[in-house]
Chain A
């Protein structure tokens, strides 16, 4: 089967539901740091309730692309839309870059999970989860705490509500970070190498939480080096190489049928590193 960058071809893949609704549409997005081009003309559509994994060697631009989706990273050309709304710029010609204040409305519907968890160390697990509910959603403290408790229970950490992050393992910290995001009921979740900073034995518990979210129908874009997760959970996988999407499709196709030599090499390295 041919590997294609065209989003039109992506629509041809058998959809589970009747008509897929696009959640994120990325069209012709490019970005450069001076002479160093990190994203080249990226096209990608993520449908509602779909899990898309971005894989690729370091420096391929996958994290940058992910961070462009909620505009933590500025893209220069092209457009990214979430539920039809243009990300980061005014929907006018010529377009104007939006301020952080103007981006708040969009960001409260897009959750992000970071490689380094980024929990706030001066707050307990419960406070970490409740904070955004109070400060961004405007909930009163009691209701926010109740909801935070529910969310911690959902990631299996009900008993750690009063622990500070420094007392939690990496896996537990990342699960709190996920609870902090899902408490906001995002329409879309972005994961930036969520298990890369974890000891190997702690990776599983985080991936399990992510599997549960996927099963509940959360729309997810995941930058990951966990090929097993990509193979088993992703609806589609994009392989990025030197700022381009070099392969895109269902995991089976990308992992086993792609003719792209760089992808073959990337997977080869991965297999060698993980075999003993």
Chain B
């Protein structure tokens, strides 16, 4: 073990870690939007929307992220769409997380008592207003622990996008260790950085949960 190797590589690794973080955050945010839309579609009571949502969820939950990523990366150019690696990576991450998030929201919505929307209905609220003002805010609170968990999983899963050549933390570690022949030190450092990021996320999640619990 030579720690000087780590010290030398650290600026590169930290820079790559920033890439990992913003790709993951972007993936999770787009995943949120997709997740909410899919969840609402599946609860809308329209059969076609429900089926479409169900197919989406089962595909993106059932196929490994790595395969999804490679499919997006290699298949889209076949139909004339040239995707830069970064776009393919973010696309795959958000589509996958959207599938999980929609299921998280579905579970949380079921946990909101029926009387909550009934009270709004009795006051003359429209259905979209009930979703926006009553159901989704409550479902969101219930789902915070699961969403933080999802964010952590996604951040780790983002190491897979190294295969399409995006210079995030894992890819950068590979590159550095291939040139200095010190894989143990480099991967150890990468592991510690992942751990640090996720610990911070978990802490942030606990903080948000406590804030919401006061309401």
Contact = CB atoms under 8 A, between A and B. Distances in A.
A70 to B, nearest CB: 6
B116 A120 contact: yes
A118 B118 contact: yes
A132 interface: yes
B123 A122 contact: no
A120 B124 contact: no
Interface string A102-114: 0011011011101
Interface in A60-113: 70, 72, 100-101, 104-105, 107-108, 110-112
Contact of A111 (B115, B122, B127): B122
B138 A121 contact: yes
A100 B129 contact: no
Contacts of B4: none
Contact of B215 (A100, A118, A164, A177): A164
B19 to A, nearest CB: 36
Nearest to A70: B122
B14 interface: no
B141 A107 contact: no
B110 to A, nearest CB: 16
Contacts, number: 65
Interface residues of A, number: 28
A223 to B, nearest CB: 14
Interface string A26-68: 0000000000000000000000000000000000000000000
A136 interface: yes
Contacts of B176: none
Q: Which of B119, B120, B133, B134 has the most CB of A within 10 A?
A: B119
B138 A122 contact: yes
B59 interface: no
Q: Label chain B's interface by main secondary structure.
A: helix
B109 to A, nearest CB: 14
Contacts of B138: 120-122
Contact of B121 (A107, A166, A180): A107
A4 B133 CA distance: 46
A118 B124 contact: no
Contacts of B179: none
A131 B124 contact: no
A136 B119 CA distance: 13
Contacts of A112: 119, 122
B123 A181 contact: yes
A230 interface: no
Contacts of A111: 122-123
A220 to B, nearest CB: 15
A118 B123 contact: no
Contacts of A136: 123-125
Nearest to B140: A122
A116 interface: yes
B126 interface: yes
A119 B126 CA distance: 18
B124 A107 contact: yes
B107 interface: no
A132 B123 contact: yes
B125 to A, nearest CB: 6
Interface in B125-175: 125-127, 129, 133-134, 137-138, 141
Interface in B165-205: none
Interface of A: 70, 72, 100-101, 104-105, 107-108, 110-112, 114, 116, 118-122, 131-132, 135-136, 164, 166, 177, 180-181, 184
Interface of B: 113, 115-116, 118-127, 129, 133-134, 137-138, 141, 214-215
Given A120-B116, A166-B215, 6 more contacts: A104-B126, A111-B122, A116-B113, A116-B115, A135-B133, A164-B214
